[in-house]
Structure 1
């Protein structure tokens, strides 16, 4: 080393620091790159992405070649800095060189390049993949030896180095990804994607038309009334039954009735024969499961039944699709905005028949949805009796005043969200 000039040593030291910065930035860039975007680019036959993906298939080898190169460079830089310190300042130069080199490496070979790589991983990882792939081939024996020793130490600690996370996202993690997509995905599309993910948490009971609201045709009714229901009704598919819904016959499509009418065969007996077979859905079925069942069975409408076989309500394919894309059909059912009436004092008068889940979604409230489906049912369950008018209570943190009770039902109640207190603080 004595025959090498000090200026040459300074130049060599600067080059080593640059090489160290390359290894540090490439390590951070490789590990920070978005794996889902990388897979997308690989599918599009992006050359650099394919190289990076190939390297990341064996992260132990990639980290091995980076760390071997980085440590060799840093150790050599330390030795050269020590020589320069001795030449310039004598024995105290060792301490000076150690302090100065530590600061320089931290600033120019660690913090700055790693921060830059974390911010722009693709810009660093893609070009670096050329050299890293070459170095991996050249240094493969050393990399293999280091990995073998490292894997042996992990085995002693009962850690399997070959068992890695498959990178699959859970439903909750996928929701976070969608929410953080920002302007990359329009808000309307984000809502639809989140609604699809929520299908597994929603059951047919949450969206069904309640038994009391099912519009059907009693075959024992006057014939003129039946014709009027078929010709003036808003629904193309109607439930056909005898006297009450429990004695259901089938579903009648308006198109079938029209066909009978054109053939002059339109009467009660032919209407019964034209009725389509009933399709039953167990209560508690998640919407994602029922959507697949509708598709598999080529059905569009079904009756929800409880464990005793009693009819609880009616669900259609359109009801499930509306959970994803929002309302798009004509329906007699009131929307939450028609059942929630704002008052001047900041409170809201809510119809007792209002669906809790729909009201929560529209108003941003937090009433529990794992029990009764309507506000009336929620209040009665909480009170454990039919309340009297004027009674006030705090339910799920919301002050509620019962305004009207009729036919053993809470017809309307006043909700005061401005006085909401979280249940654990109430």
Structure 2
């Protein structure tokens, strides 16, 4: 009779309220997981296809701080209120033991049905779940906005006391890092091939690298003197593996134009096939009438900007100068593309230009002029390229001297042996991981 008296309309009303609060808690828990785990890239793709839910999900996740604040507020209110009602209900049924029973029962129900179950579902299909809950969560954010704003102000004030500044837009700045991390994870799990990873990372790095890092140094530029006899210039152009050759007058620093092999051959053909033309007429050819104006770029130009300039100007060749206008080297569109797709070779490239060879003992014989980035890409190493661009430059930087042949150094987990040196340049090294 006493139990029947206790289980009355108020009992069922309280039990129904607890059940409703548990469902509300499950909704908030699942929504939090779905909206934070969903890929913004996939949501954007769905939104572009006309998904209203995906578009709303993108909208509500723009301000992550407000989103989390509203969800946590609703979730905690639901959990605390359900626990309070359960305590009152079980205390009425079991007396002094009601608190212990309520704690055991509510912990089990909240853990399974309000936390693990909705979160597991949400993380299994995050984009789909995010699209479904976006509209009600948007309403919750609007309703709870005043309280969330007050809570956010209090939290920011407390964090500032400890010297921590919050930035709601920080996810935008870390977008590139997320892509890099995803590529590294995909490669480690075998989902992304090394070549694909390198190409994508190369494209991402263009804005962070400058012309100076990949240009061909001026000591390696093949040039022609404008005062040279035209027939000798023609022989030089035909013998060169390069299509475009700079022309200087007096000093090599004084570049006055660039000759394209095809333009020179057209001029030769016109001269030879003229009314009085013959092979001897080539000596009277005005070379500078064939040359095009030289295109100069600063050494600090970012690679992505330089690539856009090449495409805009419809040219593939530029000479690099420093802040004083002195010649530093040259860069081509192919050099920039190689930073994305890797080394590009054709039938005119010299076999001697291959800068990396592996010995039977497992050591790597490296051309000193090879860039650190290219070596890292070829071997999957992580040698730093902050202080130097080339392998030789890295050794000189770490050694704080210009080493002699035969000297050995160990740093960054590798053994470096100088195999050959020409004047003040290290031309060949042997490298072995320690």
TMscore range, shorter length:
0.7 to 0.9
Tell me, what secondary structure is at the counterpart of 1:167?
Answer: helix
Partner in structure 1 of residue 242 of structure 2: 235
For residue 133 of structure 1, report the CA deviation from its aligned partner.
6.1
Partner in structure 2 of residue 384 of structure 1: 401
Tell me, what secondary structure is at the counterpart of 1:327?
Answer: coil
CA contact (8 A) 2:32 2:71 kept: no
| Structure 1: distance between partners of 2:150 and 2:371 | 63
For residue 68 of structure 1, report the CA deviation from its aligned partner.
4.2
For residues 104-128 of structure 1, the C-alpha deviation after alignment (integer angstroms, 9 at most, x for no partner) is 2233222332343344333433334
Tell me, what secondary structure is at the counterpart of 2:271?
Answer: coil
CA contact (8 A) 1:13 1:81 kept: no
For residue 325 of structure 1, report the CA deviation from its aligned partner.
1.9
Q: How does 1:69-218 map to 2 (within 5 A)?
A: 71-72=77-78, 75-76=81-82, 78-79=84-85, 82-87=88-93, 89-129=94-134, 140=143, 143=144, 146-147=147-148, 150=151, 153=154, 164-165=168-169, 167-170=171-174, 171-180=176-185, 188-218=195-225
Partner in structure 1 of residue 53 of structure 2: 48
User: Is structure 2 residue 361 aligned with structure 1 residue 345?
Assistant: yes
User: Is structure 2 residue 365 aligned with structure 1 residue 361?
Assistant: no
CA contact (8 A) 1:217 1:241 kept: yes
| Structure 1: distance between partners of 2:134 and 2:422 | 74
CA contact (8 A) 2:183 2:197 kept: yes
Q: Name which of structure 1's ranges 294-303 and 41-50 shifts more when overlaid on structure 2.
A: 294-303
Partner in structure 1 of residue 316 of structure 2: 300
| Structure 1: distance between partners of 2:422 and 2:140 | 82
| Structure 2: distance between partners of 1:134 and 1:111 | 25
| Structure 2: distance between partners of 1:32 and 1:98 | 31
Pick aligned residue for 1:34 from 35, 39, 45 = 39
CA contact (8 A) 1:81 1:97 kept: yes
Q: CA, structure 1 residues 375+243, in 2 after alignment: closer, same or farther (shift >3 Å)?
A: farther
For residues 224-271 of structure 1, the C-alpha deviation after alignment (integer angstroms, 9 at most, x for no partner) is 432223334332212223465234331111222222123227555522
For residue 275 of structure 1, report the CA deviation from its aligned partner.
0.6
Tell me, what secondary structure is at the counterpart of 1:400?
Answer: strand
| Structure 2: distance between partners of 1:349 and 1:22 | 61
| Structure 2: distance between partners of 1:396 and 1:149 | 50
For residue 345 of structure 1, report the CA deviation from its aligned partner.
3.2
Tell me, what secondary structure is at the counterpart of 1:264?
Answer: helix
Partner in structure 2 of residue 273 of structure 1: 289
| Structure 2: distance between partners of 1:134 and 1:400 | 63
Q: Which residues of structure 1 form unaligned runs of 5+?
A: 421-426
For residue 48 of structure 1, report the CA deviation from its aligned partner.
2.2
Q: Name which of structure 1's ranges 292-301 and 150-159 shifts more when overlaid on structure 2.
A: 150-159
TM-score by length of structure 1 reads 0.77
Q: CA, structure 1 residues 112+315, in 2 after alignment: closer, same or farther (shift >3 Å)?
A: same
| Structure 2: distance between partners of 1:202 and 1:324 | 12
| Structure 2: distance between partners of 1:264 and 1:119 | 74
Partner in structure 2 of residue 424 of structure 1: none
